[in-house]
Amino acid sequence: MSAHESVSSALRAANDAGRPALIPFITAGYPKLEDFMDVLAAVSDVGDVVEIGVPFSDPMADGMTIQRSSHEAIKNGVSLRWILEQLSANRDRIKAPVVLMSYMNPLLAIGYDELAKRALAAGVCGFIVPDLPFEESHDLRAALESQGLGVVQLVTPATPAERLQLLADASRGFLYAVTITGITGGDGGLPDDLAAYLDRVSKVSPLPVCAGFGIRAAGDVANVGQHAAGAIVGSALVEVLERGEDPAAFLRSLRD
């Protein structure tokens, strides 16, 4: 099984067990550098797949919570190279498949071929790249797929039908359905037509569809779970970490 297939497989296993899959998101090295592996291990015990945010100085698709965490993580000394080193050294502590969320520039700084090799060695299964539209993604996808890794594509409620199919077919691991037209961390609630949107996306996707942006509570996860394979929880979890609370307990509460 290739690395990106292990992501799909973990999500399907959750569904087979009769529950929506849960994908927690954490910003690497936030709030404290030295706690990264402990937090990741705890989160990976509960989550089916874990998304690790690579901090970037100009996170154009992120709201205040993730922005703040990225800014602090960079100040803490976090870099993509450091994250890959940490993951490589602690592979046995992480139970769930890992995908990295990174903006383009840190990936370019390492170089795609080098990135793909190091990521595979670190146990990373795929990448979510919010500022990389499909049209510009050929080189990165080719480099990652040569190692069995993939790019998780994002779709949004504004994505036209033809493009939706294109992105669904190109995606690896899962298809990331952005629930709202906006940035991460919104607290305006999930949109009324979410069910119809997720049904439409799930219908065309050969991979599990996971919904993210604005998912903060157990009710949101259950709601999403009726129309998609899983839910991605980012800002709400980062806020839990910010307050010094137990991330695993929070994640378990989302399943109650």
Partner 1 sequence: MKSLLESGDAEKLLAASINGELPDERGRFGPFGGRYIPETLVPAFERLEQGVRKFLHDDDFQKEFRAELHNWVGRPTALTPAPTLSARWGCDVWLKREDLAHTGAHKINNAIGQALLAKRLGAKRVIAETGAGQHGVASAAACARVGLPCTVYMGALDMQRQAPNVDRMHRLGAEVVAVESGDATLRAAIDEAMRCWVSDPDGIYYLLGSAVGPHPYPWLVRELQNVIGEEAREQMLRLAGGLPDAAFACVGGGSNAIGLFYPLLADTQTELFGVEPGGRGPGLGDNAATLATGRPGVLQGSYTMILQDDDGQVQETHSISAGLDYSGVGPEHALLQAIGRVNYIMASDEEALDALGELCEAEGILTALETAHAYAAAKKWAANNPGKRILIGNSGRGDKDMPTLIQYPVSARK
Q: Does 163 bind partner 1 (CB under 8 A)?
A: yes
Which of 209, 222, 212 minimizes the C-alpha distance to 254?
222
In whole angstroms, the minimum distance from the beta carbon of 158 to partner 1 comes to 5
Q: Does 135 bind partner 1 (CB under 8 A)?
A: yes
53 phi and psi angles, rounded to 5 deg: -85, 125
Would you call 51 a catalytic residue per the annotation? yes
155: phi > 0 → left, psi -120 to 50 → alpha, else beta; which? beta
Figure out which of the listed residues 1, 18, 160, 187 binds partner 1, where binding follows CB under 8 A: 160
Figure out which of the listed residues 6, 8, 67, 69 binds partner 1, where binding follows CB under 8 A: 67
Figure out which of the listed residues 3, 50, 132, 152 binds partner 1, where binding follows CB under 8 A: 132
Which of 163, 170, 47, 55 minimizes the C-alpha distance to 102?
55
Q: Does 18 bind partner 1 (CB under 8 A)?
A: no
- The active-site residue, picked from 51, 136, 192, 242, is 51
Q: Does 158 bind partner 1 (CB under 8 A)?
A: yes
In whole angstroms, the minimum distance from the beta carbon of 222 to partner 1 comes to 25
Q: How many residues bind partner 1 (CB under 8 A)?
A: 42
Figure out which of the listed residues 3, 21, 42, 80 binds partner 1, where binding follows CB under 8 A: 80
- The active-site residue, picked from 35, 45, 62, 131, is 62
Residues that bind partner 1 (CB under 8 A): 56-64, 67, 71, 74, 79-81, 103-110, 130-133, 135-136, 153-156, 158-160, 163, 167, 178, 181-183
Active-site residue numbers?
51, 62
